[in-house]
Structure 1
Amino acid sequence: MSSHTVGPRLRRLLAPPLLLLPLLLVLRPWQVAGHGGKYSREQNEPERPPKREPGGEFRMEKLNQLWGKAQRLQLSPVELSELHADLKIQERDEFAWKKLKAEGLDEDGEKEAQLIRNLNVILAKYGLDGRKDTRALSSNSLNDGTEQDSLEDPRLEKLWHKAQTSGKFSREELDKLWREFQHHREKVREYNVLLEALSRTEELQENAISPSDMSRGQEEAGLHSRHAELRDKLRGIDQGYDRLRRVSHQGYGAGAEFEEPRVLDLWDLARASNFTEKELEALREELKHFEVKVEKHSHFQKQLEISHQKLKHVERLGDPEHVSRNRERYAQLEEKTKELGYKVKKHLQDLSSRISRARHNEL
């Protein structure tokens, strides 16, 4: 209908009241367009991914919720920085999986199942799974942590006590050995989480009603893969325990190749794989660089813990300017520790995958 054919009375009815004009002017364009019905731009464009909330650490809301829960549980600064790195890796892997799924490259769902297992390990590791956390509570005193943490295994406790009282270790060597014991404990925790998840999966499949032959085949292939993963982890745990028992009795030898527990694990696995001498030598050099990165991260973790204790002290007793300086210092250390933690775990994941592929190709 042309505007020339509309009568004056009808034009008055169609025109917006004067009181609405200021409101229409101050509304943002998307607020007005939001009422455009099925022909509006929003209704005909693909949905945009949700934006991260201001101050959110992660792009995925469920990871932000876990991060918030961890902060409410008052984990130590070092635990929080470790959790942050784990969640960053999880987020990266989940986005990569979503891309694969969109391309139809995870038909059997095994990669999705692996993501779920990884997240369950993170939840159990940091006490975020809703179960009672059996780990000892952190003390407020500054110490090396060796007197306040449980190894959760009487055999390990006995070995650690023997090492402490043997007189064969310097203070630095005891610190190094304690890191090995902690690393072994984490491997056992991860194994137990994966074993429990596999048992639940098998139970559900046994109770399933007449699955199709195709789905049955996919399920059996997935179970075979998980059993293989568990066997690898159990073999690593057994080898780790043998090493701890040997070192606890004999002390550290002068010709040790590496010192960091994670690097030692990787090197032992690599030597048992089918790498050529040239490949093994290249990997040795890469592991040396990786160990330096791990040691740098450990240094920042210690500095972060010291800074945290100092900040708590000055918040009780210090003047505002002193508190402000310490908060700034703590925030800088926290950010640097998170950044290094992510890089270490990303590099560790890459090395582990390469060595694991070499081992499986050999089999």
Structure 2
Amino acid sequence: MNIYSQTLLCLLILVSCVLCENKYSRSANEKKKSDVEFRSLDKPFRMNKLNLLWTKARQRLTEPKLKSLYSDLMIQDKEELIYKRVKSEGGDKEGLKEAELRRKLTNIMSSYGLLHHFEPGAPKEKDHPAYNSAMDDYINKSIFKDKKLNYLWTKAEASGFTMEELLALREEFTHHQEKIDQYYDLLSDDSPKDDAFKNIINEDELDKFNEISEHTNEMTKDYIDKANLIREKHRDLRDGYDRLQRVVAKVGNTDF
């Protein structure tokens, strides 16, 4: 009986020590975290794109919001690292997990009011050219060649669509990109020596090519037919883009 009593006493002492250690450790950790000045943290994440986003957030968010964003980005950072390993081992061949991670990050950016800083035409940070370039590369990742269409897709990813709805919507976006490509091909056919056509990939620049330069004073029927066809294609592109904007604005409407 004496041996059992001694054993029980030792167990109670051991448990008590563990509980005390956890208590003081948790308290120390909480105190340490509460003392952190999040605005002073520089590159706290392992993924560079998250550090770049953090740089933008430090300039715009209050300390409480930075603390909240830090927690969200820590989770994103871990998931991105796991995905990086999975990808290196040949996983996610269909890109579904990558799309999910992009959507999560876009949602985070939208929640903290950071997404609009990356839309086409947004002011750039003069002091951070490397930041601007890297974030543009990520946000405007080459899903679509047209920048406006690509940014609209980024907004769609943050609008609450299900994966099935996004897949269906992506088909619509892809079809619109194909129509843009056909429009440029039509312009190139008319002006094969004009290098300007080769350098344009943005739908917002289509207006300047809405008319065909007249190389001769004689207005031929072929020229008029070609000009009318280009104007028709141009209107069709505008109408198509407006329709995609309305679909994205409806947030989750599956009736495409």
Q: Structure 2-normalised TM-score? A: 0.37
Query: Which of the pair has the greater relative contact order for Cα pairs under 8 Å at 6+ separation?
Result: 1
Q: TM-score, normalised by structure 1?
A: 0.27
